[in-house]
């Protein structure tokens, strides 16, 4: 079970792709053709980042994405074979020279006269496929695929991120799922081609790259309302990362419940240590009280170590509870807290929800490693009392029934401000997002 605190926006994306891409293995499969499906997901996204730093230009982009997903059934027999394929197309609707940089669209190189630097191309596309094998309750896939677990994942923009490699899942025991795999390439969410894996905060030395990421994990629900997870990931010659989580939801009455969770990451450098020495412990603890249609959540998060808590680039593989729309609050030695309020407005309009939150973090940037090959930017001699805060507001609507069932609209606003030297690594920004999604079953 994925626990995310990216706000309602991330929940919309996870729900959409989850419904499109999750494969249910039937006990008695109908066959390769009979169990096949073809689905489309249209996503229209606009984002504007209003910068508050002198000399930094605002960014604004708008695009239309179309995603097609084909999933075959399995051939009959003790061992079944099949194929999954996906094709993505994105079209720029707005985004001129100098206004790129939101992450929705690619950034092109300057033309021969040196003009239009930062202007996104008119469109970009990609396609991929994976072969799959089913043996009893085990599913093996090799090729291009969507992934989502605590050490690898990504779907935060107009198109999802895909990874090339092998994955193995098993759900033979009720309430227990096993997950393992290894990938060597990814296709970022705003590019057409594939590339080697990189990280969100680290910068690889020139000419160096990690060859693969491997992982193994287990998710277990031993009792009603209780879920646990254990994962280990190895980004070759960069780090070895461990993850553990416990989440529990307790009913206190017909309309009242209490939800709590603790998520923990341990990251240590590995092999050639391309990003330098890493020794980070990061954890978050959350407590939420729900009554009727109201939910109030309090989060405390802490990072111990001279480098930030880092993760695979793409924005999806961080399961800390104070990872927000704009900031992750994951700097070296950072302590942060969050207060969040969610309101289900179904009494007024079925399918309408709202969220508002405030997060604040403080860190000592003088303790960061100024000589780190991957994270030296986090050192600031004037950042002993560095701080920042973020305010998030989101409004989401999903059509519950009728012709346009599952059509969703998400409006989001994040205001992020820095103080006492934190601007050395991040901006003061007002970030606005508007996202429309519509899934459609063709087969």
Phi, psi dihedrals of residue 16, rounded to the nearest 5°:
-65, -50
Indicate whether 275 belongs to any domain. yes
Residue 324 lies in a domain: yes
Q: How confident is the model at residue 443 (pLDDT cuts 50, 70, 90)?
A: confident
Q: Please report the pLDDT score of residue 108 as a whole number.
A: 63
pLDDT digits (tens, 9 = 90+) for 179-217: 999 999 998 888 888 889 999 999 888 888 899 999 999
pLDDT of residue 22: 40
Q: Which range (145-149, 151-155, 303-307, 325-329) has the least confidence?
A: 151-155
Residue 1 domain-assigned (yes or no)? no
Specify the pairing of strand 162-170 against strand 123-135: unpaired
Structure-token pair, residue 370: 């100024």
Structural domain boundaries, residue 33 = 8-441
Mean of pLDDT values over 145-172: 91
C-alpha span between 278 and 360 (Å, rounded)? 25
Strands 138-145 and 123-135, bridge-based pairing = antiparallel
Any domain includes 303: yes
Residue 297 lies in a domain: yes
Give the CA radius of gyration of the chain. Answer: 22
- Residues 6+ away with beta carbon under 8 Å from 428: 51, 52, 53, 416, 417, 418
Structural domain count of the chain: 1
pLDDT at residue 29, rounded to an integer: 55
In a domain, residue 3? The reply is no
Q: Domain of 89: which CATH number? A: 2.40.160.10
Q: Which residues contact 137 (CB under 8 A, 6 or more apart)?
A: 25, 170, 171, 172
pLDDT tens per residue, range 85-139: 999 999 999 876 677 778 888 876 544 544 444 677 888 899 999 999 999 899 9
Residue 109 has a pLDDT of 56
Residue-wise pLDDT tens digits, 334-380: 999 999 999 999 999 999 999 999 999 999 999 998 999 999 999 99
- Tell whether 293 is covered by a domain: yes
Structural domain includes residue 81: yes
pLDDT per residue as tens digits for the range 390-421: 999 999 999 999 989 999 999 999 999 999 99
Residue 28 is predicted with a pLDDT of 53
pTM of the model: 0.89
Q: Tens digits of per-residue pLDDT, 69-92?
A: 999 999 998 899 999 999 999 999
């Amino acid at each position: 079970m994925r626990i995310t605190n990216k706000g309602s926006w991330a929940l919309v994306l996870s729900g959409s792709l989850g419904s499109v891409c999750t494969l249910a293995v039937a006990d008695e499969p109908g066959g390769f053709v009979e169990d096949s499906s073809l689905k489309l997901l249209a996503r229209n996204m606009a984002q504007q980042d209003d910068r508050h730093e002198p000399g930094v230009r605002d960014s604004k982009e708008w695009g239309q994405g179309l995603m097609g997903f084909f999933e075959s059934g399995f051939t009959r027999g003790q061992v079944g074979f099949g194929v999954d394929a996906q094709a993505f197309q994105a079209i720029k609707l707005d985004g001129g020279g100098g206004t790129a940089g939101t992450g929705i669209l690619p950034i092109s190189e300057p033309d021969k006269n040196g003009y239009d630097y930062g202007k996104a191309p008119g469109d970009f596309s990609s396609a991929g496929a994976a072969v799959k094998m089913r043996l009893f309750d085990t599913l093996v896939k090799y090729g291009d695929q969507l992934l989502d677990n605590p050490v690898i994942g990504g779907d935060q923009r107009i198109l999802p991120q895909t990874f090339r490699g092998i994955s193995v899942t098993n759900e033979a025991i009720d309430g227990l799922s096993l997950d393992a795999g290894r990938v060597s390439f990814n296709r970022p969410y705003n590019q057409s081609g594939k590339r080697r894996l990189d990280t969100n905060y680290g910068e690889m030395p020139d000419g160096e790259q990690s060859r693969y990421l491997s992982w193994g994990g287990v998710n277990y629900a031993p009792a009603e309302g209780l879920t646990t997870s254990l994962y280990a990931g190895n980004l070759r010659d960069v780090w070895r990362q461990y993850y553990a989580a416990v989440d529990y939801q307790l009913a206190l009455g017909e309309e009242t419940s209490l939800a709590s969770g603790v998520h923990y990451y341990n990251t240590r450098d590995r092999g050639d240590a391309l990003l330098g020495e890493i020794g980070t412990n990061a954890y978050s603890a959350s407590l939420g009280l729900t009554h009727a249609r109201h939910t109030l959540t309090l989060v405390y998060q802490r990072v111990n170590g001279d480098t930030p808590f880092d993760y695979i680039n793409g924005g999806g593989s961080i399961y800390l509870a104070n990872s927000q729309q704009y900031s992750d609050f994951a700097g070296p030695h950072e302590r942060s807290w969050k207060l969040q309020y969610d309101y289900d407005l179904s009494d007024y309009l079925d399918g309408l929800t709202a969220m508002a939150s405030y997060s604040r973090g403080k860190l000592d940037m003088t303790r960061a490693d100024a000589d780190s090959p991957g994270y030296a930017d986090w050192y600031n001699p004037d950042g002993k009392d560095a701080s920042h805060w973020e305010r998030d507001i989101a409004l989401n609507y999903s059509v519950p029934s009728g012709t346009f069932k599952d059509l969703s609209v998400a409006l989001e606003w994040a205001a992020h401000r820095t103080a006492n030297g934190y601007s050395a690594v991040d901006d003061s920004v007002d970030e606005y997002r508007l996202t429309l999604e519509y899934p459609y079953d063709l087969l």
